């Protein structure tokens, strides 16, 4: 919808489609009709286009790409052309965001003014398309090719000041943008429109077009190899420099149509909505984000100032919340404070933060050695070493000193949250908050609900998570929760492949070519082989097994002979300059395939009487990725993950799964569940002793349906009682 009103001789057109005025069919129709009505009305001298509520239109309605409504008359190209062709001056009055189609609308206008805090941009590359309503043709005509290439291929937002400097905005206004827009429109109502219609302008830096586009193309291919949209953006911008608008827009449309129907665009758009769905939780019994009011959180505390704890403190401080940091002794406390101060100093140095803001933010930090100082805080996040006994000890202490209604949360990545809660008298107010390293940067938070966690605790922790800039995904309690649980078969298969014929670099290469930035064995080196060795020991202990006895651990998939051999030789990974790979020096990032490791692997195979074979890349791919996906389905059937979208967001934001495949579950839907199930069955028959190849019952059921079940409906097939 678009509201049309007249204020004197100015027609004001408000795009009205809450919450972000996405340019759905009815909005486009309203704008189109509004321009036509204003054109016909002799008493109207000029027109202002603006957005109702919190923002100018933020772009096309992404859901209409799949439904086909985006193409319906008037499509966005037709709306922009209609605006530009208007014989009366049209002014875009921008507040909030003018993104994608919203910015295209404003480039169709003859003038653009913006509020001081407005932002503009073309984020289309993030959802796998391009600015296909003239954006790639009009923007370079206004600001030149070089900045247009930067803005369109990066998808970044541009602030008001920068937009003015570039020439996207004609003026920045203080106060109400619509009132100012009306004033501005009146001031230009008698100005000729010749020279204001962007499509008739020439691209200013056209002489450098080839050089600029060649270098931009090389850059997008380097940065985002395999992504279709950035490449199409550069192609379309090159056309703008070489072709009149009327021809350029046709090429832009053709490129847009190709992108719109691509698997990448579908996956990226799916990820866009999945990310927004994540914080909309629901638990059995019906309580949900919509029905439960969170408690206000005015202050927090973090126990443990190591790498994770310090990062968590920074998230809290950055949100403007006071935070107490508790440590066990002065040395550790000083180390934590130094780390936090150092990271803020780094931000100031990089120009990401002013010195004044850094000082103000740091003033919210209160370091202490006394648990008693936590007596008034609303939420405590424990970030001590991953050890159940230690965590229980901390929770016991917290339970004694903290006020009754304070929430106690644990930054655990694997441990049983109910066991941790059992050390307190308030299990209803205990939750897991699994941060990812570095905690001040990574957006994902896997929030774990225990058996007794109350809905209000879930609501409060979810709200706090959003406040500190995270995407929270609510999951159930099991070893490793969703993310690390799915990681287990993936890394296990990666190591098993070494024992059968592959070498570390061959495994990693397949996974990196798929799009995960670091292969599983390089991750092993990064985490440290001593760390994974200790995890194996702990898990074995939990299962009542002796981790040194092969016959004990092998049936449970906990026997990693190659890793153990490397560990025993002191090859602990990157930090020692040697692990599955060798490194130029300790701590170096460049992993170099190591003939010594290949010898160790060969020697192991000889000793075991294993005939090494050439393992085809497809097998590496399937064994690592399909075993992980199968585990993802198991988290769904057990109710550990509530929705496939949640599994995908965990892997996209926490583990570097390539976004253009949508995440493991969306990727599964693209493979086809019948085919996927067949392959998992095949590996199950081949490796019957490996539990992770037992096919998920949910996957089996879904794969047997006559027609493919849309991912959004998979939850209806999750058979066992949901634990969430």
What secondary structure letter does DSSP report for 8?
Answer: T
In the list 38, 70, 494, 640, the residue contacting ligand LOHRUJSQ (rule: CB under 6 A) is 70
Q: Does the footprint of ligand LOHRUJSQ cover residue 5 (CB under 6 A)? A: no
Closer to ligand LOHRUJSQ by CB, 71 or 697: give it: 71
Q: Which two tokens stand for residue 372?
A: 């008693």
Which residue in 84, 104, 493, 619 is the catalytic one?
104
Q: Does the footprint of ligand LOHRUJSQ cover residue 71 (CB under 6 A)? A: yes
User: Is 104 among the catalytic positions?
Assistant: yes
Q: Does the footprint of ligand LOHRUJSQ cover residue 638 (CB under 6 A)? A: no
Q: How far apart are CA 259 and CA 238, in angstroms?
A: 17
Closer to ligand LOHRUJSQ by CB, 126 or 527: give it: 126
CB 84 within 8 A of CB 183: no
For residue 297, give the nearest of 326, 325, 327, 323 by alpha carbon: 323
Closer to ligand LOHRUJSQ by CB, 249 or 300: give it: 249
Closer to ligand LOHRUJSQ by CB, 291 or 704: give it: 291
C-beta neighbour count of 163 within 10 angstroms: 25
In the list 11, 20, 417, 474, the residue contacting ligand LOHRUJSQ (rule: CB under 6 A) is 20
SS3 621: helix
In the list 61, 84, 525, 594, the residue contacting ligand LOHRUJSQ (rule: CB under 6 A) is 61
> Measured between alpha carbons, how far is residue 522 from residues 255, 491, 506 in Å?
38, 11, 11
**To the nearest whole angstrom, how small is the minimum distance from the Cβ of residue 149 to ligand LOHRUJSQ?**
18
**To the nearest whole angstrom, how small is the minimum distance from the Cβ of residue 258 to ligand LOHRUJSQ?**
12
What secondary structure letter does DSSP report for 396?
Answer: H
Q: What is the largest CA-CA distance in the chain?
A: 94
Kind and range of the H or E run holding 366: strand 365-368
Sign of CA pseudo-dihedral 145, 146, 149, 152: negative
**To the nearest whole angstrom, how small is the minimum distance from the Cβ of residue 123 to ligand LOHRUJSQ?**
4
Which residue in 84, 124, 327, 619 is the catalytic one?
124
Task: Please classify residue 595 by burial: count the beta carbons closer than 10 Å to its beta carbon, then call 0-12 exposed, 13-18 middle and 19+ buried.
Answer: exposed
For residue 402, give the nearest of 420, 383, 429 by alpha carbon: 429
In the list 30, 34, 51, 100, the residue contacting ligand LOHRUJSQ (rule: CB under 6 A) is 100
- C-alpha angle with apex 208: 204 to 211, nearest 5 degrees? 145
Q: How far apart are CA 52 and CA 209, in angstroms?
A: 39
**To the nearest whole angstrom, how small is the minimum distance from the Cβ of residue 664 to ligand LOHRUJSQ?**
21
In the list 14, 79, 92, 97, the residue contacting ligand LOHRUJSQ (rule: CB under 6 A) is 97
Question: Beta strands 407-410 and 379-382: pairing type?
Answer: parallel
CB 379 within 8 A of CB 406: yes
Closer to ligand LOHRUJSQ by CB, 432 or 472: give it: 472
In the list 6, 165, 223, 276, the residue contacting ligand LOHRUJSQ (rule: CB under 6 A) is 276
CA-atom Rg of the chain in angstroms = 28
Q: Does the footprint of ligand LOHRUJSQ cover residue 22 (CB under 6 A)? A: yes
Q: How far apart are CA 422 and CA 539, in angstroms?
A: 20
In the list 11, 94, 99, 268, the residue contacting ligand LOHRUJSQ (rule: CB under 6 A) is 99
CB 482 within 8 A of CB 458: no
Sign of CA pseudo-dihedral 678, 683, 685, 688: negative
Q: Which stretch binds ligand LOHRUJSQ (CB under 6 A): 19-27, 164-172, 453-461, 562-570?
A: 19-27
- C-alpha angle with apex 675: 673 to 681, nearest 5 degrees? 95
Bridge partners (DSSP) of residue 6 are 11
In the list 133, 315, 365, 379, the residue contacting ligand LOHRUJSQ (rule: CB under 6 A) is 133
Q: Which two tokens stand for residue 658?
A: 């390539």
Q: Does the footprint of ligand LOHRUJSQ cover residue 268 (CB under 6 A)? A: no
In the list 12, 38, 60, 535, the residue contacting ligand LOHRUJSQ (rule: CB under 6 A) is 60
Residue 48 backbone class (left: φ over 0; alpha: ψ -120 to 50; beta: rest): beta
In the list 10, 15, 50, 77, the residue contacting ligand LOHRUJSQ (rule: CB under 6 A) is 77
Q: Which stretch binds ligand LOHRUJSQ (CB under 6 A): 59-67, 341-349, 467-475, 595-603?
A: 59-67
Closer to ligand LOHRUJSQ by CB, 128 or 504: give it: 128
C-beta neighbour count of 313 within 10 angstroms: 29
Kind and range of the H or E run holding 603: helix 595-608
In the list 114, 132, 455, 480, the residue contacting ligand LOHRUJSQ (rule: CB under 6 A) is 132
Closer to ligand LOHRUJSQ by CB, 86 or 259: give it: 259
**Catalytic positions, please?**
104, 124
Residues lying near ligand LOHRUJSQ in the complex (CB under 6 A):
19-20, 22, 58-63, 70-71, 75-77, 97, 99-101, 123-124, 127, 129, 131-133, 256, 273, 276
């Amino acid at each position: 919808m678009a509201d049309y009103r007249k204020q004197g001789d100015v027609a004001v057109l408000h795009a009205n489609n809450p919450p972000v005025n996405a340019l759905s069919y009815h909005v486009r129709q309203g704008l189109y009709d509004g321009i036509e009505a204003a054109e016909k009305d002799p008493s109207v001298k000029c027109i202002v286009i603006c957005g109702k509520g919190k923002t100018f239109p933020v772009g096309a309605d992404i859901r209409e790409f799949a439904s086909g409504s985006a193409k319906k008359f008037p499509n966005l190209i037709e709306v922009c052309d209609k605006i530009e062709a208007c014989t009366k001056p049209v002014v875009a009055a921008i507040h909030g965001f003018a993104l994608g189609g919203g910015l295209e609308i404003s480039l169709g206008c003859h003038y653009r003014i913006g509020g001081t805090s407005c932002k503009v941009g073309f984020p289309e590359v993030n959802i796998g398309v391009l600015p296909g309503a003239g954006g790639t043709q009009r923007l370079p005509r206004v600001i030149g090719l070089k900045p247009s290439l930067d803005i369109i291929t990066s998808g970044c937002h541009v602030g008001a000041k920068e937009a003015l400097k570039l020439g996207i905005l004609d003026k920045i206004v203080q106060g109400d943008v619509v009132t100012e827009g009306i004033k501005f429109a009146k001031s230009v109502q008698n100005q000729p429109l010749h020279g204001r219609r962007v499509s008739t302008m020439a691209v200013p830096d056209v002489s450098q077009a080839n050089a600029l586009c060649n270098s931009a193309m090389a850059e997008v291919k380097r940065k985002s190899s395999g992504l279709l949209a950035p490449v199409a953006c550069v192609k379309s911008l090159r056309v703008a420099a070489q072709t009149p608008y009327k021809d350029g827009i046709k090429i832009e449309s053709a490129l847009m149509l190709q992108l719109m129907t691509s698997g990448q665009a579908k996956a990226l758009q799916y990820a866009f909505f999945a990310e927004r769905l994540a914080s909309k939780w629901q638990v059995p019994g019906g309580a949900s984000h919509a029905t439960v009011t969170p408690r206000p959180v005015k202050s927090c505390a973090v126990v443990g100032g190591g790498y994770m704890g310090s990062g968590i403190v920074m998230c809290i401080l950055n949100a403007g919340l006071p935070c107490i940091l508790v440590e066990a002794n002065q040395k550790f406390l000083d180390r934590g404070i130094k780390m936090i101060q150092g990271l803020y100093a780094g931000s100031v140095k990089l120009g990401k933060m002013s010195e004044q803001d850094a000082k103000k933010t740091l003033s919210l930090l209160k370091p202490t050695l006394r648990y008693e100082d936590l007596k008034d805080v609303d939420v405590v996040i424990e970030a001590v070493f991953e050890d159940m006994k230690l965590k229980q000890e901390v929770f016991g202490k917290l339970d004694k000193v903290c006020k009754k209604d304070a929430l106690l949360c644990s930054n655990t990545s694997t441990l049983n949250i109910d066991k941790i809660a059992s050390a307190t008298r308030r299990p209803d107010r205990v939750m897991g908050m699994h941060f990812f390293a570095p905690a001040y940067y990574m957006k994902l938070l896997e929030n774990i609900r225990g058996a007794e966690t109350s809905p209000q605790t879930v609501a409060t922790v979810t709200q706090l998570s959003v406040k500190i800039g995270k995407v929270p995904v609510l999951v159930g309690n099991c070893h490793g929760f969703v993310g690390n649980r799915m990681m287990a078969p993936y890394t296990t298969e990666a190591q098993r492949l070494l024992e059968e014929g592959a070498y570390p670099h061959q495994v990693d290469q397949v996974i990196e070519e798929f799009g995960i930035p670091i292969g599983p064995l390089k991750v092993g080196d990064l985490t440290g082989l001593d760390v994974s060795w200790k995890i194996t020991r702990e898990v074995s202990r939990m299962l009542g097994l002796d981790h040194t006895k092969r016959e004990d651990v092998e049936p449970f998939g906990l026997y990693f002979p190659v890793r153990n051999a490397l560990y025993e030789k002191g090859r602990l990974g990157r930090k020692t300059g040697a692990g599955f790979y060798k490194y130029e020096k300790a701590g170096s990032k460049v992993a170099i395939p190591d003939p010594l490791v290949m010898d160790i692997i060969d020697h192991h195979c000889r000793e075991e009487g294993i005939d090494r074979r050439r393992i085809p890349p497809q097998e590496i791919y399937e064994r690592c990725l399909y075993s992980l996906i199968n585990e993802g389905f198991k988290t769904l059937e057990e109710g550990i993950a509530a929705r496939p979208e949640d599994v995908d967001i965990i892997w996209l934001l926490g583990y570097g799964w390539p976004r253009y495949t949508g995440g493991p579950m969306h990727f599964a839907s693209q493979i086809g569940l019948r085919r996927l199930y067949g392959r998992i069955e095949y590996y199950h028959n081949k490796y019957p002793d490996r539990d992770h190849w037992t096919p998920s019952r949910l996957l089996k059921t879904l794969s047997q349906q006559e027609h493919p079940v849309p991912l959004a409906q998979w939850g209806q097939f999750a058979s066992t009682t949901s634990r969430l």
